[in-house]
Chain A
Amino acid sequence: MKALSILSLFCLSLIVVPFAAAESDQLVALQQENRLLQRQVKKLEAQVDAMREEMNQPGAERIISGLGYIVGVFGITGWVAASRKKRGEK
């Protein structure tokens, strides 16, 4: 009786152990993949931060348009001032 139970336990372990081994292999693989993905996500996050920083830096077109506004505003003001002066002289 005892021998039989030992034998059956042995047979059971023959069936279960390979599965368990496969499972732990899978687990290790998944953990590795997870670590890899985490590293990649971190890299992407850093890239997004850098891009956001870059987008906050005004580009050449904004600088030039600002200068254009200044030239325009003072041009119009000067024009008005000059024409008023002329009218005053008449």
Chain B
Amino acid sequence: MHIADGVLPLSVAAGCGAVSLALAAWSVRSTDGDDLPKVAVVTASFFVSSLIHVPLGPTSVHLLIPGLVGILLGRSAFLSILLGLLLQSLLFSFGGLTALGANALMMGVPALLSGLLFNRLRGTSHKQNMLIGALAGGSGTLLAATILAFLLASGGEDFFGVMKLAVLAHIPVFVIEALVSAFTVSFLYRVKPELLEQRLGVVCQG
């Protein structure tokens, strides 16, 4: 689920780039300096996770984990995803550089919303954390597929056709991501619950 170069009209690509630049700046401002190691580790996981391919009939799909990034990082998620996608684009040629803004919006906005969802609904019990983790992880990917369809529709494709295709192709991914998120949240809740707290702060307090 990456948009390549030249798929989107120039105006849409540029607009997405501007919006994601603003979001990235906001994301940097809301990152606590003490959280940087955590952000780095999650960014590295996000960067590598797209290489994990799940064979599915004739094709294969790969993990995206925007939901999990959002759960773990909250507002810092956008920064993490933008950097991860930039490196994926440069090193793995996943998605074009000119479409980086669109790709960042497609993955970053669901990440932010998943983080918000998790933070609001997680509750205090282990089970509740796990369930909301699964919900946030799965819905993050679903939302990313919807945004993908929306962006491609701006390039002249039929929205509902693309959306049906994108959603259908990613049904196993929704399930797998929900499971991965549930497992990760459950593990962290038992081992290091403070990692699930989303702190707010400013990186460069002068």
A residues sitting closer than 8 Å to B (CB atoms) are: 56, 58, 62-63, 65-67, 69-71, 73-75, 77-78, 80-82, 84-85, 87-88
Contacts and interface: CB of A to CB of B under 8 A. Distances in A.
Contact of B36 (A62, A69, A77): A77
Contacts of B92: 58, 62, 66
Interface string B18-30: 0000000000000
B174 interface: no
A71 B43 CA distance: 9
Contacts, number: 56
Contacts of A85: 33, 205
B43 A74 contact: yes
B47 interface: yes
A5 B98 CA distance: 84
B93 to A, nearest CB: 7
Contacts of A84: 204-206
B37 A58 contact: no
A37 B4 CA distance: 37
A2 to B, nearest CB: 74
A70 B204 contact: no
21 contacts: A56-B93, A58-B91, A58-B92, A62-B91, A62-B92, A63-B91, A66-B48, A66-B91, A67-B48, A70-B40, A70-B83, A70-B84, A73-B40, A74-B36, A74-B37, A74-B43, A75-B40, A80-B204, A84-B205, A87-B206, A88-B206
Q: List the 10 closest pairs (A to B, CB-CB), nearest first.
A: A74-B40, A81-B33, A78-B36, A58-B92, A62-B91, A66-B87, A70-B44, A66-B91, A70-B43, A81-B203
Contacts of B204: 80-81, 84
B91 A70 contact: no
Contacts of A67: 44, 47-48
Contacts of B33: 78, 81-82, 85
A80 B39 CA distance: 16
Contacts of B37: 74, 78
A63 B36 contact: no
Nearest to A56: B93
B51 interface: yes
A77 B203 contact: yes
Contacts of B44: 67, 70-71
B51 A63 contact: yes
Q: Which of A62, A65, A70 has the most CB of B within 10 A?
A: A70
